[in-house]
Chains A and B, each alone.
Chain A
Amino acid sequence: QQQVKQSPQSLIVQKGGIPIINCAYENTAFDYFPWYQQFPGKGPALLIAIRPDVSEKKEGRFTISFNKSAKQFSLHIMDSQPGDSATYFCAANRDLTGANNLFFGTGTRLTVIP
């Protein structure tokens, strides 16, 4: 059972475009929503994260929009660059005693064409 649904599976944009990746969840116990970026041959790395008490968070060219009532959140990449080409994973966290249980979306492969 997929706890976090992510779309699209792949995305191709021109340099300067604004790719948008969408995620949805059902479990209201989730309390932290990170986005991870993964380059080929590397491990995922945290890009940006949001908590459910805010509707938007911006860090540089990356923005998360969060809709708590709809249980949806999305990543926007402003002025996208070829170096942004990577696989992006949304995730949702449920705190356990002593661990953070992250449920990942299925990933979006982004290609930014020069």
Chain B
Amino acid sequence: DTAVSQTPKYLVTQMGNDKSIKCEQNLGHDTMYWYKQDSKKFLKIMFSYNNKELIINETVPNRFSPKSPDKAHLNLHINSLELGDSAVYFCASSQGSPGEETQYFGPGTRLLVL
């Protein structure tokens, strides 16, 4: 059973397009996250949701919009894709409480914008 799953695994698209990445966790966690890993492997948090409520909203272009239909899902929609958006996007989940800090990561979505 996959704990944190993401679809698609690979995404190749043209500049200016709109795309979505989906994430689901079956761990029963309350909190989900989106991270961006650039070509130098640097991992940076983008957003976090707790039970459908936005908790962390880092400085990212407003072309990126997370949506959480329920606490087991956190999707990422990207409008007007740019070359610089090419990266690996990871979804993660955790219990979101002190003493339960372990974050479980999905396998990543490799986005290439041409």
Secondary structure call for the B interface: strand
A-contact 0/1 string along B63-82, CB 8 Å cutoff: 00000000000000000000
B-contact 0/1 string along A60-73, CB 8 Å cutoff: 00000000000000
The total of chain B residues at the interface (CB under 8 A) is 31
Cβ-defined contact, B90 with A49, below 8 A = no
Assembly CA distance A62 to B45 (angstroms):
26
Cβ-defined contact, A98 with B107, below 8 A = no
Q: How far is the CB of B106 from chain A (nearest CB, A)?
A: 5
Within 8 A of A (CB), among B23-48: 30-31, 33, 40-45, 48
With contacts A43-B107, A106-B42 taken as known, whether A93 is within 8 angstroms of B101 at the C-beta atoms is yes
Residue of B nearest to A46 (CB): B102
Secondary structure call for the A interface: strand
Q: With an 8 A cutoff between CB atoms, is B103 at the interface?
A: yes
Which one of A49, A96, A98 contacts B51 once the chains associate, using CB atoms below 8 Å? A98
Interface residues of B (CB under 8 A from A): 4, 30-31, 33, 40-45, 48, 50-51, 53, 55-56, 90, 92, 94, 96-98, 100-108
The total of chain A residues at the interface (CB under 8 A) is 28
With contacts A104-B43, A106-B41 taken as known, whether A99 is within 8 angstroms of B105 at the C-beta atoms is no
